[in-house]
Amino acid sequence: MVKIETGNCTRCNTCIRICPVKAIQTDASDGFPVINPSRCIGCGACILACDPRTIFYRSSLEDAKALLASGEKVLALLSPSISVEFEDVTDYRKFATMLRALGITYACELSFGVDVIAYKYQLLFSDFKGRYYITSTDPVIVSYVEKYHPNLISNLAPLVSPMIAGARIARHLYGPEIKVMYIGPDIAKKDEALLYDDDRKVDVAITFHELRSLFKHFSIDEANLEFSEFDPPLSYKGALYPLTNGIIQAADMDENLVTTSVLCIEGIKPMMETIQEFENNIKFIHRHVHITSGNSLAGPGFTKQSGRLFSEYLVIKYTNKRLQRFFRLEWYQQLQTYLELDYNRPYRNDDQRLPVPPEEKIAEILTMLEKKGSETVGCSECGYSSCREFAVDIGRGLASPELCISYAMKNSMSNMESIRQLNEKLAKTRRLLKETEEQSRLQKETSGRMSELTDAMLEKLRAGVVFVDNKLKIIKANATFSSILGEEAEEIYTVIPGLVNADLNKLIPPNFINLFSYVLNDNENIENRDINVGGNLLNVSIFPIVNGKIAGGIIRDMRAPEVQRAEVINRITDVIDRNLEMVQKIGFLLGEGATDIERMLNSIIEFYKEEKKKR
């Protein structure tokens, strides 16, 4: 009957705290409150407590419009609480006209149903057979007993509410085919209306909110309408029904506190305490109890909430006005007629009680809440009268620890500390990242400079230099390398500086390629290998740079004069070094002659060194 539309919900948990039967829990998936309809008793406390107005009762507006448009005869049962809602309507007789303007065929007061049921209670209480009763005029109270005190179902008075009695009376008076529309402030009447499908049936139950919407929809304004009287049956003091003891007064029951057999209680919390006491102590109390939720004076079906005293005054004023046109004899005859009808009703056991968790579990929860030792007291902010009751419902899965303000604050402080630590770590990481970025920028700059330097150095070398990857694609080569390979390679070099990505296979012959392949595959150096390429003698050294991935080659064109000279010097030096022993042996065998050979060779070396200096 009640639902939460989470769009505007602030997750303040007020509804969870205020629900008297813990029918609202937090949805673990999104943290929004959710109503368990099986546990709800329709008190409407959550609707009134929700500040963003995001909890709603089931609307019957469209059903009401459909009924009015159906062409059926519709009888309205108007609650006397109308006096609290419509204090702006100057005369109650305007209501009758306004209802008829809506399309209502019979504009009746609920008050006669109250009169009848009040007298039924008088009979029940006066015919005492040892059982004490809890009145059942308010569906919220009935639902509470059925769900949370099913042991007391047999103590619920076996009488329908005035609304259901009114529907049965109306059908006896106007015919079984009429449709009945209840208009009042109690949202629980909407569910009560669904309970019957015989001549007690109420076809649609609307609140004052919805009645105002209908007036607006049909542009009905009392200023444009004349007075008219309500349709029979006319009531007596049933108009006092919204007051705590209204139904007792309506039947002129004894209210003398010394002699009365009925105690009157109003409000959700007093109702719960009273019913608990009734269960525990009724054999000592020896009284019937009339209990109401209080929604007939200040429920969610009103469009505004007036002060208690003023509301009571309005009800009494309305009743007085009604009694100015009261004809006791006529009323009494009607009462006697309709008292004859059957107003009995059954109840159902709808037990929603949950077992109390084991003591160890409760103790564990109290320890978690840091309430161990103070469990019998409590701030009540969680909606429970003690920390123990709260812990019990946490154990039952009906409450969450976050409803405890001190627990939630500690949690949120520890969360804040975690967030602070996280922020610190984040700031540190950011600093490190900035430093790394700076280092990387410097490295990039340095490497750029180094690359420029290396390129310049490569170009200065008189030897050809080439670097290739394992697919024999050129990573870098210098201009000398291209000029050693000939004109075609030189042309390519002018278009693609460094011969980057050029295929080495297409630039040098297979015997040369094999040397690069060998170095890349075997990771071995090739030093000073002479090879013939296209009739040119080249001196080649190839070495791995990154094993199996990159190799570098130094190629010298043996035709170049500077190479020839340097090579002659290198090779003679090499010959001398390698053959020194042999030369010495030759010297030993040939005497001075051998020294002449060495001298001659040395002179050649010196000559080329001199030549080199000159250049």
Residues that bind ligand SF4 (CB under 6 A): 2, 4, 9-15, 19, 21, 23-24, 33, 35, 40-46, 49-50, 52, 54-55
Q: Which residues contact 322 (CB under 8 A, 6 or more apart)?
A: 92, 109, 111, 235, 239
Q: In this structure, what is the dihedral angle of CA atoms 387, 388, 393, 395, given to the nearest 10 degrees?
A: 120
- In whole angstroms, how close is the CB of 58 to ligand SF4 at the nearest point? 11
According to DSSP, the residues that pair with 476 across neighbouring strands are: 467
- In whole angstroms, how close is the CB of 381 to ligand SF4 at the nearest point? 14
- In whole angstroms, how close is the CB of 15 to ligand SF4 at the nearest point? 3
Q: How far is residue 529 from each of residues 427, 435, 504, 535, 537, measured CA to CA in Å?
A: 59, 49, 18, 16, 10
- In whole angstroms, how close is the CB of 140 to ligand SF4 at the nearest point? 8
**Between 190 and 476, CB nearer to ligand SF4:** 190
Phi, psi of 156 (to 5 degrees): -70, 130
Q: Which residues contact 34 (CB under 8 A, 6 or more apart)?
A: 4, 24, 25, 26, 27
Residue whose pair of structure tokens reads 């329709």 in the numeric block: 42
For residues 157 and 274, the answer to whether their CB atoms sit within 8 Å is no
**Between 52 and 534, CB nearer to ligand SF4:** 52
According to DSSP, the residues that pair with 587 across neighbouring strands are: none
- In whole angstroms, how close is the CB of 270 to ligand SF4 at the nearest point? 15
Q: What single-letter amino acid sits at 13?
A: N
CA distance 165 to 452: 103
- In whole angstroms, how close is the CB of 21 to ligand SF4 at the nearest point? 5
**Between 53 and 460, CB nearer to ligand SF4:** 53
**Between 10 and 573, CB nearer to ligand SF4:** 10
**Between 33 and 184, CB nearer to ligand SF4:** 33
**Between 15 and 206, CB nearer to ligand SF4:** 15
CA distance 124 to 261: 11
For residues 181 and 74, the answer to whether their CB atoms sit within 8 Å is yes
- In whole angstroms, how close is the CB of 19 to ligand SF4 at the nearest point? 3
- In whole angstroms, how close is the CB of 312 to ligand SF4 at the nearest point? 24
For residues 109 and 6, the answer to whether their CB atoms sit within 8 Å is no
**Between 21 and 466, CB nearer to ligand SF4:** 21
CA distance 209 to 103: 18
CA distance 85 to 315: 10
- In whole angstroms, how close is the CB of 269 to ligand SF4 at the nearest point? 12
**Between 15 and 297, CB nearer to ligand SF4:** 15
Question: Do the bridges between strand 74-78 and strand 179-183 make them parallel or antiparallel, or are there none, so unpaired?
Answer: parallel
**Between 18 and 368, CB nearer to ligand SF4:** 18
